């Protein structure tokens, strides 16, 4: 999981960032207002399953469940 604050970027830029991280990452974001603000949380859906979220301009609240089992990859 990656948390970014003061992203100062658009939704399109966050989509590009997500794709450049290698595997396709899911994300939730709040867009910035010009050159102010912006929050984003990115995660690998093969490891974490999003159960619930609340998004407002000043915060993102999330609840995840771990779905990755390290014993599967031994």
Judged against a pLDDT cut of 70, whether residue 74 lies above it is answered with no
Q: How many percent of the chain have pLDDT more than 70?
A: 93
50: Cβ contacts below 8 Å, ≥ 6 apart: 26, 28, 43, 62, 63, 64
Average pLDDT, the chain: 85
Distance, in Å, from the CA atom of 31 to the CA atom of 7, rounded to the nearest integer, reads 8
pLDDT digits (tens, 9 = 90+) for 35-64: 778 899 999 888 899 999 999 888 899 999
Residues 12-33: what's their mean pLDDT? 84
Domain that holds residue 7: 2-73
The total domain count for the chain is 1
């Amino acid at each position: 999981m990656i948390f970014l604050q003061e992203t100062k970027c658009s939704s399109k830029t966050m989509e590009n960032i997500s794709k450049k991280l290698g595997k396709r990452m899911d994300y939730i974001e709040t867009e910035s207002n010009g050159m102010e603000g912006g929050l984003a949380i990115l995660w690998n859906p093969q490891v974490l399953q999003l159960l619930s979220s609340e998004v407002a301009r000043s915060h993102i609240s999330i609840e995840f469940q771990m779905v990755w089992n390290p014993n599967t990859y031994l």
